[in-house]
């Protein structure tokens, strides 16, 4: 999942970014209100993690502005302001969850994961195709009953392919949803991850290349696998 982080405390921003990346998320880091507002307008994020007191404004106010535009991206407000009135005002402005500093990394990951699921209510808890079973909540993958160990980006790409239900997922879609702003669009990182996935998934090969477009997962019963 792609996460937008708004945090002006550089050491904390680096630590939160590291924690989220290790959990398999792509992260765009912003340090002030205007930068976060511009990034959020792209509408490509699965979750927003926003500090309240930042240069140029309040992360909760940004949530309110997004809600007025009809943007319902799940938002977690993170702040040292732990008074009841502050928490209530954050929720009143449209925040979905509230986390008080200091916090444990495992709690941050759990809350972001829960908000990501909330924003994708139509996605079933398990995704299945071509003998592959991906458990969204447990973050596990099996093929033909054998558990597979995937790296974070491999899991994210496979997740996107499974969600497409046999439809084509373009390279640009994969880059937008599985990589962050630091990704070099000229690199072959998508091809590398697809090649690794094909190797781990084994035979019959479920990932087909649609030349000039992208990739799709072909079910074993489709006949063109």
State residue 225's pLDDT score. Answer: 41
2-118 topology per CATH = Rossmann fold (3.40.50)
Residue 123 has pLDDT above 90, yes or no: no
Mean pLDDT of 59-87: 87
Per-residue model confidence as pLDDT tens digits over 77-87? 998 877 788 78
Residues 78, 83, 85: CA angle, nearest 5 degrees: 100
Pick from 138-147, 168-177, 209-218: least confident: 168-177
Location of each CATH 3.40.50.2300 domain in the chain:
2-118
What Cα–Cα distance (Å) separates residue 127 from each residue in 63, 83, 122? 31, 41, 12
- Sign of the C-alpha dihedral computed for residues 63, 64, 69 and 70 taken in this order: positive
Mean pLDDT for all residues in the chain: 87
What's the CATH number for 126-217?
1.10.10.10
Mean pLDDT of 120-125: 57
Location of each CATH 1.10.10.10 domain in the chain:
126-217
pTM: 0.61
State residue 216's pLDDT score. Answer: 93
* Distance (Å, whole) CA 45 – CA 42: 8
Residue 149's pLDDT band (boundaries 50, 70, 90)?
very high
């Amino acid at each position: 999942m792609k996460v937008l982080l708004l945090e002006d405390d550089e050491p904390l921003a680096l630590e939160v970014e590291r924690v989220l990346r290790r959990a398999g998320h792509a992260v765009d880091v912003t340090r002030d209100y205007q930068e976060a507002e511009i990034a959020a307008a792209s509408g490509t994020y699965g979750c927003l993690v926003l500090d309240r007191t930042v240069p140029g404004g309040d992360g909760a106010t940004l949530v309110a502005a997004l809600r007025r535009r009809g943007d319902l991206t799940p938002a977690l407000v993170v702040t040292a302001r732990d008074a009841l009135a502050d928490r209530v005002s954050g929720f009143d402005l449209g925040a979905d969850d509230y986390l008080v500093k200091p916090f444990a990394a495992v709690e941050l990951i759990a809350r972001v994961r829960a908000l990501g699921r909330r924003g994708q209510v139509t996605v079933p808890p398990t995704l299945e195709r071509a003998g592959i079973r991906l458990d969204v909540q447990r973050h596990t993958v099996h093929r033909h009953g054998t558990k597979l160990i995937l790296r974070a980006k491999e899991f994210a790409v496979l997740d996107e392919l499974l969600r497409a239900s046999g439809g084509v997922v373009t390279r640009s879609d994969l880059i937008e949803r599985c990589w962050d702003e630091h990704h070099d669009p000229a690199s072959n990182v998508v091809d590398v991850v697809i090649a690794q996935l094909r190797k781990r998934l084994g035979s019959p090969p479920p990932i087909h290349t649609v030349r000039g477009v992208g990739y799709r997962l072909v079910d074993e019963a489709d006949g063109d696998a």
